Amino acid sequence: MSNHTKTDQNKMGMTALALMIFTSVYGFANIALSFFNMGYSAIPYFLLSAVLYFIPFSLIIAEMAQAFKDDHGGIYTWMEKSVGIKWAFTGIFMWWISYVVWMVGKATNMWIPLSFGIFGKNIFTDANVMTWTGLKSSQFFGIIGIIFMIYTTYVAIKGIKGISKVASIGGIAVIALNILLFIGGILVLLTKGLTFGETSFNLFTSPNPNFATPVASLGFLVYSIFAFGGMEASGGLVDNVKDKKSYIGGLTFAGAIISIGYAIGVFLVGTFTNWADIMGATDVNGEAIVN
């Protein structure tokens, strides 16, 4: 009994799993980028992607995870049992290598937005970084990416408990960003007499001329689906979750937060941003200021 209790204590609950999924799936930057590409018309795309892709995909992940809950390996195990070793190896290698590229990218591209958030400008220019380190900014960020990957590997080999702690911190941080956006948007609305920054409330036509055609809009639909990518990473965690109820609850809870978060986030960006004046602004040469 004591061993069983100890094992359960080392497993994740519903909240920890939801935060892990939220951290790996939800991209706060997707909100600003979506508003730039589509304005308020991005909202129905996220809701449509959630209903037609994210929710069914979550159910598939839950079913596969439960069906192979006694086997380790996650996606690899599912594919090996279904289509054989060759395709399982090919699929998992492509999936894994894409995550390596993604993680290095995240480790290197977070510093400039962070600099703008703290200092109001980019302090990581080539000139500044050269003065500090003697390296170009790209070289400096590359080294940071390598250090991040080494640290991530170290945490991963320590087991799921360490990963869940890091994921919980990340999830809380992302939630805090959204709370900041939500409170800020509401405060702007209240102080401006419920007047929005965005004046175009068209939910079906993008103010961005690059996304005004049906083909371009279809391209954004693909992007909105991509914004939900990462759920499959939780598939191999079913044996690290306390019980089936916690696993399904974590999937559902995370899915609801992500879907609603994207939609409300885009809506609130429009409380203090006018697309035509800011996102569509050009310099004296007619070049777009925001890209």
* Spans of all domains in the chain: 8-279
pTM across the whole model: 0.70
| pLDDT value at 2 more than 50 | no
pLDDT tier at 243, thresholds 50, 70, 90: confident
- Rounded to 10 degrees, the C-alpha dihedral 131/136/142/146 comes to -40
Quick: pLDDT tens for 160-179: 676 767 767 776 777 787 78
Name residues whose C-beta falls within 8 Å of residue 276's C-beta, 6 or more positions apart in sequence: 199, 200, 207
Quick: pLDDT tens for 66-121: 777 777 667 788 888 888 899 989 988 888 888 788 777 777 777 777 777 777 77
What separation in angstroms does the CA of 151 have from each of 105, 141, 268? Answer: 15, 15, 35
Instruction: Report the first-to-last Cα separation within the chain, whole angstroms.
Output: 59
Q: What percent of the chain has pLDDT over 70?
A: 88
Name residues whose C-beta falls within 8 Å of residue 275's C-beta, 6 or more positions apart in sequence: 35, 39, 198, 200, 207, 208
CA 134 from centroid of its chain's CA atoms: 33
Question: What span, in angstroms and rounded, lies between the C-alpha atoms of 113 and 225?
Answer: 24
Question: What span, in angstroms and rounded, lies between the C-alpha atoms of 264 and 270?
Answer: 10
Mean pLDDT of the chain: 80
Question: What span, in angstroms and rounded, lies between the C-alpha atoms of 83 and 149?
Answer: 31
Cross-strand pairs, 288:
282
Q: Count the Cβ atoms, other than its own, within 10 Å of residue 151.
A: 12
